[in-house]
């Protein structure tokens, strides 16, 4: 009897010392997004997964060792704006979970890199030479920020200095154009566009931008385009035109012609750069 009583008392002491109700111990918590080494831009949702045998009370989110928010309801998230942070700067993220017995656990640390500036280009080198035709191509990547490139163009390609150049050719048609659709991870606030071009006297190049592929604004006069038969560089800062844009911008190159079929206009080495937030 004394032996049984002693064992019971020992178990009770251990039960009290361990917190009474929490038989499994500390809660478990981990950052599920972003993963370590991710490039982030704009506003992202940091997410964490937390579990405990007796129940999670809260999950705290820390960025660069500063508490930025506390979430008490699953899914545990924090919306983080990277706007204004230095590009290429690294930042640490971790979470801390508390259970109903006041036990706490801190997650692993995740290091991310802020990159709100973007750059993407298309040098046309990967396209095979072809006869004029309506077709769709997929190219243009920049820091993971862009999706999909749509072309709708009667065209052929000729080589300049081992680079293919897109040529707007006859028959004359208002449907002969090249349209880029760019989708960023955040709202576009600054945009610069540049390209190499050739413009013959009877084949003028026009440039348009749109937030939704329906309302087009001509921005040709922002570029210094002149009549030339030699490949020539031009670029323009279009920030004032995209102040109300969201995550999308459409850029269209078009051409008009007169005087028969002894003309062409062309673009090559197209690029875009800017800032998102």
Q: Does pLDDT of 231 surpass 90?
A: no
> Domain boundary residue among 90, 114, 138?
114
Residue 52's domain comprises: 23-114
Q: 9-46 burial by CB neighbour count: b if 16+ within 10 A, else e?
A: eeeeeeeeeeeeebeeeebbbbbbebeeeeebbbebeb
Please, which pLDDT band fits residue 129 given cuts at 50, 70 and 90?
very low
Please give the residue that has the higher pLDDT: either 208 or 133: 208
Is residue 194's pLDDT more than 90? Answer: yes
Q: b vs e for 221-256, b when ≥16 Cβ sit within 10 Å of the residue's Cβ?
A: ebbebeeeeebeebebebeebbeebebbbbbbbbbe
More confident residue, 150 or 208: 208
What the block records as the tokens of 106 is 């801190």
Q: How far apart (Å, rounded) are the C-alpha atoms in residues 241 and 239?
A: 5
pTM: 0.59
3 domain-assigned: no
All residues at 6 or more sequence positions from 115 whose CB lies less than 8 Å from its CB, including other chains? 39, 40, 41, 87, 88, 143
For residues 263 and 69, the model is more confident at 69
d(CA 184, CA 70): 29
pLDDT, greater one: 220 or 204:
220
Of the residues 68, 89, 114, the one at which a domain ends? 114
Q: Are 270 and 216 within one domain?
A: yes
User: By the 8 A CB rule, do 97 and 52 touch?
Assistant: yes
For tokens 């969201």, name the residue.
Answer: 246
Residues 88, 129 within the same domain: no
Provide the domain count of the chain. Answer: 2
Report the mean per-residue pLDDT for the chain. Answer: 75
pLDDT of residue 203: 74
Question: What pLDDT was estimated at residue 83?
Answer: 78
Residue 34 shares a structural domain with residue 154: no
Q: Which of 205, 214, 192 lies closest to 166 in space, CA to CA? A: 205
pLDDT at 52 over 90: yes
Residues 127, 263, single domain; the answer is yes
Confidence of residue 152 (pLDDT cuts 50, 70, 90): very low
Q: Is 11 a domain residue?
A: no
What percent of the chain is predicted at pLDDT more than 70? Answer: 67
- pLDDT score recorded for residue 263: 55
Q: Which of 12-26, 175-189, 260-274 has the lowest mean pLDDT?
A: 12-26
- Same domain, yes or no, for 133 and 258? yes
209 forms beta bridges with 217, 251
Note whether 249 and 210 are within 8 A (CB): yes
| Domain membership flag for residue 18 | no
DSSP state for residue 211 in the 8-state scheme: S
Average pLDDT (110-120) is: 84
Binning pLDDT at 50, 70 and 90, where does residue 169 land? very low
pLDDT of residue 249: 85
Residue 74: CATH number of its domain: 2.60.40.10
Q: Is residue 102 part of a domain?
A: yes
Does the N-terminal peptide bond of residue 38 adopt cis geometry, omega within 30 degrees of 0? no
- Does the residue 13 lie in any domain? no
What is the per-residue pLDDT for 161? 54
Residues 107, 126: one domain? Answer: no
DSSP string, 104-169: EEE---EEEEE--EEEEEE-STTSPP--S---------STT-----EEE--EEEEEETTEEEEEE-
Is pLDDT of 30 > 60? yes
Are 254 and 230 in a shared domain?
A: yes
Give mean pLDDT, residues 222-248. Answer: 91
pLDDT value of residue 79: 95
Residue 6 in domain: no
Same domain, 133 and 270: yes
Whether the predicted pLDDT of 109 surpasses 90: yes
Q: Establish if 194 belongs to a structural domain.
A: yes
Residue 27 has pLDDT above 60, yes or no: yes
Is 256 within the bounds of a domain? yes
Here the CATH number for the domain that contains residue 130 is: 2.60.120.260
Of the residues 91, 114, 137, which one is the last residue of a structural domain? 114
Same domain, 71 and 134: no
Residue 133 sits in the same domain as residue 266: yes
Q: Which residue has the higher pLDDT, 238 or 167?
A: 238
Q: Residues 140, 209: one domain?
A: yes
- The answer on 248 and 152 residing in a single domain is yes
Asked whether the predicted pLDDT for residue 71 surpasses 50, the reply is yes
């Amino acid at each position: 009897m004394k032996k049984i009583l002693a064992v019971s008392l020992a178990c009770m002491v251990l039960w009290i010392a361990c917190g009474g109700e929490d038989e499994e111990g500390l809660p478990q918590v981990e950052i599920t997004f972003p993963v370590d080494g991710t490039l982030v831009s704009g506003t992202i949702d940091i997410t964490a997964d937390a579990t405990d045998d007796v129940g999670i009370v809260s999950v705290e989110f820390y960025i660069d060792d500063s508490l930025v928010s506390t979430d008490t309801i699953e899914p545990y998230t924090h919306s983080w704006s990277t706007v204004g942070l230095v590009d290429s700067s690294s930042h640490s993220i971790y979470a801390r979970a508390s259970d109903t017995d006041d036990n706490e656990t801190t997650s692993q640390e995740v290091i991310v890199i802020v990159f709100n500036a973007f750059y993407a280009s298309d040098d046309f080198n990967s396209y095979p030479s072809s006869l004029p035709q309506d077709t769709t191509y997929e190219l243009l990547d920049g820091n993971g920020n862009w999706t999909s490139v749509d072309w709708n163009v009667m065209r052929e390609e000729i080589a300049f200095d081992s680079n293919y150049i897109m040529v707007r050719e006859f028959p004359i048609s208002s449907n002969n154009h090249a349209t880029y659709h760019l989708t960023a991870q955040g709202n576009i606030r600054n945009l610069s566009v540049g390209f190499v071009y050739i413009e013959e006297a009877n084949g003028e190049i026009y440039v348009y931008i749109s937030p939704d592929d329906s309302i087009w604004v001509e921005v040709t006069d922002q570029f210094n385009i002149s009549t030339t038969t030699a490949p020539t560089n031009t670029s323009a800062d279009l920030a004032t035109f995209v102040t109300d844009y969201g995550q999308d911008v459409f850029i269209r190159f078009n051409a008009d012609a007169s005087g028969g079929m002894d003309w062409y206009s062309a673009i090559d080495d197209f690029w875009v750069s800017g800032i998102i937030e």
